[in-house]
Structure 1
Amino acid sequence: MTDPCGACGARGCEELFHGLLALDHSRAEPWGPLHGVSVSCFLLQHPARLPADGGAAARGLLRAYLDGGLPAVDRLIGRARAANSHRVTGRSAPGGAVPPGREAPRGGFAVTVEEVAQDGTFPAAGFPDRVRAWAAATLEVWGPVSP
């Protein structure tokens, strides 16, 4: 049996994540549309992998998803793409990065990729609900997203 991950606490998280990415990249329902949410959850639960923004964009994306579902995520991504234009300067990521005076959380997540995978195959039935629970559990540990 695989030891629990020191970052998220899941067993076999790396292999499970690669399996999820394969499903995401198929672009099939229900996995494909939730790719950004799934990646954000995984990165925030593995803070050593966070990009230079310290998780700000990932936290903003999860907050948007929990507040407004996939339409809100699509709007956020559309704004990010527009802001990524070579004609725009002074860009900033949505949401707050690691809060001042605090380090990124390690462990303590009520839901990890292991629970989302269920039997290791990420069954389609209930997948969106499991991802929503994953997003909520991730943000709960990280704390509120500041504007």
Structure 2
Amino acid sequence: MTCAECGAPQIPRPCQDLFHELLALDHSGRAPWAPVHTVVVATFYLQHSSPVAAAGRATHWAILQMYLRDGLDALLAAARQAVRRNSHRFGGRRPTVDDYPGGPPFPVAAPAPGRFTTTIVDVAVDGTFPPDGHEDRVRRWAAATVAAWTAATDR
């Protein structure tokens, strides 16, 4: 059995369950999971294009572009600013593409790829999201997601 949205095998668990487990690790505040939380969310939602996620695709795309181009430190600085602007003291606006500048525009006209060379199952390894190599696996996942969407644009 495979995921209808990303093409991953649903072993050891479905993508959604793995995502919730990874979010719990992200929210623990511990490295190596917490620092890449923004990348994890953006990547998962670009591979799992539900109607809710579709509204934020351009922002998720901009996040991955910045991460892959400028690295984690630059992304974390931009994300801190976006979170600060999201505060009720600053009007409470949601993060947008403008918070993560410098990348190409999201391929709006492209259909969702449906299959990716790296998925959350690869990041989970054996279902436990081991700390050794976690950020490298997340980077490969993000890069594979951008590559698939780019290829979908070229069709």
Q: Is the 8 A contact 1:24 1:32 kept in 2?
A: yes
1:105 maps to 113
Question: Residue by residue, what CA displacement relative to the aligned partner does 1:92-147 show, whole Å, maximum 9, x if unpaired?
Answer: 524534423x223222x110000000000000001010000000000001118xxx
After superposition, residues 46-125 of structure 1 pair within 5 angstroms as: 46-48=48-50, 49-53=52-56, 55-81=57-83, 84=86, 85-86=90-91, 93-94=97-98, 96-100=105-109, 102-107=110-115, 109-125=116-132
1:78 Cα deviation after fit: 3.8
2:31 to 29, 32, 38: 29
Structure 2 length-normalised TM: 0.78
Report the Cα distance in structure 2 between the residues aligned to 1:112 and 1:36, rounded to whole angstroms: 16
Q: Is the 8 A contact 1:64 1:72 kept in 2?
A: yes
Report the Cα distance in structure 2 between the residues aligned to 1:27 and 1:87, rounded to whole angstroms: 23
1:14 Cα deviation after fit: 1.3
Report the Cα distance in structure 1 between the residues aligned to 2:129 and 2:150, rounded to whole angstroms: 27
1:140 to 140, 144, 147: 147
Report the Cα distance in structure 2 between the residues aligned to 1:8 and 1:79, rounded to whole angstroms: 31
User: What is the one-letter code of the residue matched to 1:141?
Assistant: A
* Percent of aligned pairs with the same amino acid: 42
User: What is the one-letter code of the residue matched to 1:6?
Assistant: A
- Larger mean Cα displacement after TM superposition, 118-127 or 5-14: 5-14
Report the Cα distance in structure 2 between the residues aligned to 1:92 and 1:17, rounded to whole angstroms: 22
Structure 1 length-normalised TM: 0.82
Q: Is the 8 A contact 1:47 1:106 kept in 2?
A: no
1:87 Cα deviation after fit: 9.6
Segments of 5+ residues of structure 2 without an aligned counterpart are none
User: What is the one-letter code of the residue matched to 1:32?
Assistant: A
Q: Please report the RMSD computed on the Cα atoms of aligned residues, expressed in angstroms.
A: 2.3
